[in-house]
Amino acid sequence: MRPLYYRRDGTPYEGPTATMDWAADFENRTPVGQDEIGDVLVSTVWLGLDHNCSDEGPPLIFETMVFGESLDGEKRRYSTEAEAIAGHAEMVARVRAERKE
């Protein structure tokens, strides 16, 4: 069984304090990216919890989500911070295209 909690660098939290260690880091997290485009917010964050629902593939520990207008609720998940940064930029571009900006 794979770990549930992962640090921002992708290494797993291990041992009996894994949950508490993750919670302490999560409480002090900073966003990967946040952009307001008109009434739309595009937010990318480190979750630290593996959102990959299968045992195959890497842990998905970052998420981009759109709040507002036609793409409200759109989300993408990533394994690395580099993927999350690139995905955030792609989602911002997609929102701008939808708004014709």
- The tokens describing 7, both together, are 């640090």
What's the pLDDT band for 34 if we cut at 50, 70, 90?
A: very high
**Looking at residue 84, what is its pLDDT?**
98
Query: Mean pLDDT throughout 61-81?
Result: 97
Percent of the chain with pLDDT over 90: 91
**Looking at residue 54, what is its pLDDT?**
87
pTM of the predicted model, to two decimals? 0.94
Q: For 60-83, b where at least 16 C-beta lie within 10 A, e where not — what string?
A: bbbbbbbeeeebeeeebbbbebeb
Rounded to whole angstroms, the Cα distance separating 4 from 7 reads 10
**Looking at residue 70, what is its pLDDT?**
94
Q: Strands, E, within 17-92: which ranges?
A: 33-37, 40-46, 62-67, 75-78
Query: Mean pLDDT throughout 52-76?
Result: 95
**Looking at residue 23, what is its pLDDT?**
97
